[in-house]
């Protein structure tokens, strides 16, 4: 990954985001934290948007988003052309999201995943390459026509 991984959360995901940053440091993965800087209440779409816009524009290759369930962040991020955000709560889902779907944003649900497992999920997602081949054709069909967006 040439560009830093972008990370962001909402208030519910703040503590887990901080833990994932430490895991990224241990793994030697460069990252940039787009906020928030504390656990005060914030609106998750504001932070998902920051990461999704950067991934969609090519300013970042991948992102990590953390909220209470992972769902709100994924729903927001997936509104952006070229973003394929996947919610993963186990290593196999994380691997498959990369292998078959070329997921470029991982979302985690802080209220639903044990922090140790979240670290393993993140590592599996980071370590897994996209297989391409038949999957590339399918991933290409994910993008909606311009008039839909």
The Cα–Cα gap between 48 and 148 comes to: 21
Q: Is the pLDDT of residue 149 over 90?
A: no
Domain-embedded: residue 45: yes
pLDDT for the residue 143: 78
Domain-embedded: residue 12: yes
Domain containing 14 equals: 5-140
Instruction: List the catalytic residue out of 19, 100, 120, 135.
Output: 100
- Answering whether pTM is above 0.75, one says yes
pLDDT in tens, 9-63: 999 999 999 999 999 999 999 999 999 999 999 999 999 999 999 999 999 999 9
Percent of the chain beyond pLDDT 70?
Answer: 95
The two three-digit tokens of residue 142, written as one number: 């994910």
Q: Are 52 and 80 in contact (CB under 8 A)?
A: yes
Q: Per-residue confidence at 147, pLDDT binned at 50, 70, 90? A: low
C-beta neighbour count of 15 within 10 angstroms: 14
Domain-embedded: residue 148: no
Domain-embedded: residue 147: no
Report which of 25, 19, 14, 124 is spatially closest to residue 5, judged by C-alpha positions.
Answer: 25
Number of structural domains, the chain?
Answer: 1
pLDDT in tens, 73-82: 999 999 999 9
pLDDT for the residue 128: 98
Percent of the chain beyond pLDDT 90?
Answer: 91
The Cα–Cα gap between 82 and 119 comes to: 25
Q: Per-residue confidence at 98, pLDDT binned at 50, 70, 90? A: very high
Domain-embedded: residue 145: no
Domain-embedded: residue 136: yes
The two three-digit tokens of residue 139, written as one number: 């991933």
Instruction: List the catalytic residue out of 5, 23, 66, 67.
Output: 67
Say which CATH number the domain at 15 has.
3.40.1400.10
Helix extents (H) in 1-149: 14-27, 44-57, 71-77, 91-99, 115-127, 134-140
Domain-embedded: residue 149: no
Tell me, yes or no, if 100 is annotated catalytic.
yes
Residue 119's alpha-carbon distances to 84, 108, 146, in angstroms, are 20, 10, 37
């Amino acid at each position: 990954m040439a560009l830093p991984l972008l990370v962001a959360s909402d208030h519910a995901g703040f503590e887990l985001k901080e833990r994932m940053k430490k895991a990224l440091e241990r793994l030697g993965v460069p990252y940039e934290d787009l906020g928030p800087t504390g656990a005060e209440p914030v609106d998750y779409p504001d932070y998902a948007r920051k990461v999704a816009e950067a991934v969609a524009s090519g300013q970042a290759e991948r992102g990590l988003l953390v909220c209470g369930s992972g769902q709100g962040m994924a729903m927001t991020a997936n509104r952006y052309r070229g973003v394929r955000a996947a919610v993963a709560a186990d290593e196999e889902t994380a691997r498959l999201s990369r292998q078959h779907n070329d997921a470029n944003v991982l979302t985690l649900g802080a209220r639903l995943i044990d922090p140790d497992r979240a670290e393993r999920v993140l590592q599996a997602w980071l370590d897994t390459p996209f297989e391409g081949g038949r999957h590339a054709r399918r991933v290409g069909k994910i993008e909606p026509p311009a008039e839909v967006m």
